[in-house]
Amino acid sequence: MANSKVKVLYNQLFINNKFVDAVSGKTFPTTNPANKQKIIDVAEGDKADIDLAVNAARVAFLPDSEWRTMDSSARGQLMYKLATLIEENKNDLAYLESLDNGKPLEDSLLDISMAVSTYQYYAGFADKIHGKTIPADGPYIAFTKLQPVGVVGQIIPWNYPILMMAWKLGPALATGCTIILKPAEQTPLTALHVAALTKKAGFPDGVINVVPGYGPTAGHAISSHPDINKVAFTGSTEVGKLIMVEAAKSNLKRVSLELGGKSPLVVFDDFDVNEAAAIAHGAVFANMGQNCCAGSRTFVQEGIYDEFVKIASNLASEKKVGDQFDATTQVGPLVSEEQYNKVLDMIESGKQEGAKVEAGGSKVGDTGYFVYPTVFSNVTDDMKIAREEIFGPVQQIIKFKTIDEVIKRANKTKYGLAAGVLTKDLSTALKYMENVDAGSMWINCYDIVNTQCPFGGFKQSGFGRELGADGLKEYLEIKTVTIRK
Instruction: Tell me the catalytic residues.
Output: 258
Relative to beta strand 440-443, strand 458-459 is: unpaired
DSSP, collapsed to helix, strand or coil, labels residue 46 as coil
Q: Which of 413, 392, 463, 391 is nearest to 299 (CA)?
A: 413
The residue type at 273: V
What does each C-alpha distance from 236 to 98, 292, 361, 440 come to in angstroms? 22, 9, 24, 18
CB atoms within 10 A of CB 269: 15
Question: Which burial class, exposed, middle or buried, applies to 454 when counting CB atoms under 10 A from its CB (0-12, 13-18, 19+)?
Answer: middle
Contact by Cβ (8 Å): 227, 59? no
DSSP, collapsed to helix, strand or coil, labels residue 254 as strand
Contact by Cβ (8 Å): 467, 118? yes
Contact by Cβ (8 Å): 299, 395? no
In the chain, DSSP finds a helix count (H) and a strand count (E) of: 16, 22
Residues with Cβ within 8 Å of 23's Cβ and at least 6 positions away in sequence, in order, are 46, 48, 49, 52
End-to-end Cα, the chain, rounded Å: 73
Cα–Cα–Cα angle for 242, 244, 245, rounded to 5 degrees: 65
